[in-house]
């Protein structure tokens, strides 16, 4: 039996709207998104039919949030705080992004002031073992003190049809009753692979823009990097090169652990995790499986499960590879937004059945 209640979503740290779009696809009303990156406005508003607020979460108050939620039966507050401070890179750079550690506490402040019906939060799995502050434990404790049933777990994205080896913690909380993420939708034999996702795209050269799709464009390569990718066999990487192509850092013991950089993706496996630097050859295993280039913007967006009709820039704006890569790498995969929405719908159905 379909849910007849009107479900409204406010998305904090919304970026260009990956999470929102997944929930939008499942019939939720996306009311508004908040982010300090004002360049995300066009993509967020155009694709999700919602308002974008260029506003720091520290300045968002309950009066504004409550006003936006007016008229909705079920109020959903989403908050996927920037994950950089909890990443493995941040562990080695402890003075970087210190102010971002408190973003989840600000999210908690708004939860406590507004008391929305349902909360969803996504972040990197390292937040579970983050040593500087018990950020996640404090957030869960706050939710429970305010009457929420809480469920969270580490999600391996291929288990939900997302074609990249991303691992993320997904939290759901409800004041209505018990809530859980739906079971995995894919097993290992049915994981979506690189070939499934980009195998049919037109071939392009490094630095070329596809004639039929302006978003299918790749970064140009220097002469030495072009030689390097040409010397990289299928599924290979820099360890397959001759000495004259290797970087000095790779010849040192400390550099040998970075085996994925300059690597080619495997046609028959999911892609690696998309990052804000995923269109750069030297930033990970971001080489095309057989073409001599790094993956294109379109390929990165498809690995993140953005549909081909998702618009990233206004018609008046030139496509920026650097900006688009940041948008894509920072985004929650829309498919994960759909999984979250399906979990919320299941939750509401189960509550309705027990009434």
Query: pLDDT per residue over 212-269, tens digit each?
Result: 999 999 999 999 999 999 999 999 988 888 888 887 665 665 555 555 789 999 999 9
Q: What is the pLDDT of residues 16-57, one digit of tens each?
A: 999 999 999 999 999 999 999 999 999 999 999 999 999 999
Beta bridge partners of 122: 170
Per-chain mean pLDDT for the chain = 90
Please identify which of the residues 40, 83, 157, 278 carries the catalytic annotation.
Answer: 83
* Helix (H/G/I), strand (E/B), else coil: 331: coil
The pTM is what?
A: 0.92
Dihedral of CA 288/294/295/300: which sign?
positive
Is the per-residue pLDDT at 185 higher than 60? yes
Residues sharing a CB contact under 8 Å with residue 252, sequence separation 6 or more, in sequence order: none
Known catalytic membership, residue 157: no
- For the chain, give percent helix, strand, coil, nearest 5: 40, 15, 45
Phi–psi pair at 40, nearest 5 degrees: -80, -10
* Helix (H/G/I), strand (E/B), else coil: 324: helix
Residue 240, CA distances (Å) to 228, 248, 261, 278 in order: 9, 15, 12, 21
Is the per-residue pLDDT at 61 higher than 90? yes
Is 7-186+334-353 a domain of CATH 3.40.50.150? yes
Report which of 162, 169, 165 is spatially closest to residue 130, judged by C-alpha positions. 169
Let me know if 124 is exposed, middle or buried by CB neighbors in 10 A (0-12, 13-18, 19+). Answer: buried
């Amino acid at each position: 039996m379909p849910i007849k209640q009107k479900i409204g979503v406010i998305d904090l740290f919304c970026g260009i709207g990956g999470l929102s779009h997944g929930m939008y696809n499942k019939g939720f009303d996306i009311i508004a998104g908040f982010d300090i990156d004002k360049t995300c406005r066009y993509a967020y508003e155009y694709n999700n039919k919602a308002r974008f607020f260029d506003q720091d979460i520290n300045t968002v108050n309950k009066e504004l949030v409550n006003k936006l939620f007016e008229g909705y039966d079920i109020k959903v507050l989403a908050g996927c705080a920037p994950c950089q401070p909890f990443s493995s890179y941040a562990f080695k750079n402890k003075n970087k992004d210190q102010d971002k550690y408190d973003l989840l506490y600000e999210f908690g402040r708004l939860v406590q002031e507004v008391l929305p019906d349902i909360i969803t939060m996504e972040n990197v799995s390292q937040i579970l073992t983050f040593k500087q502050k018990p950020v996640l434990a404090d957030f869960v404790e706050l939710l429970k003190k305010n009457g929420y049933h809480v469920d969270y777990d580490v999600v391996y994205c291929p288990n939900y049809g997302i074609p990249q080896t991303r691992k993320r913690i997904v939290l759901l909380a409800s004041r209505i009753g018990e809530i859980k993420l739906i079971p995995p939708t894919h097993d290992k034999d049915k994981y979506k692979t690189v070939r499934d996702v980009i195998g049919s795209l037109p071939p392009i050269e490094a630095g070329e823009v596809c004639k039929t799709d302006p978003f299918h464009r790749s970064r140009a390569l220097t002469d030495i990097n072009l030689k390097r990718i040409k010397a990289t066999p299928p599924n290979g990487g820099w360890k397959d090169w001759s000495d004259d192509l290797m970087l000095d850092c790779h010849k040192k013991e400390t550099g040998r652990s970075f085996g994925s950089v300059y690597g080619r993706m495997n046609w028959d496996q999911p892609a690696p995790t998309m990052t804000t630097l995923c269109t750069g050859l030297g930033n990970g295993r971001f080489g095309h499986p057989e073409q001599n280039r790094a993956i294109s913007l379109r390929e990165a967006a498809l690995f993140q499960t953005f549909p081909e009709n998702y618009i990233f820039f206004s018609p008046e704006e030139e496509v920026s590879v650097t900006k688009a890569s940041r948008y894509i790498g920072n985004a929650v995969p829309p498919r994960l937004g759909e999984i979250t929405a399906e979990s919320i719908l299941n939750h509401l159905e189960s509550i309705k059945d027990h009434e």
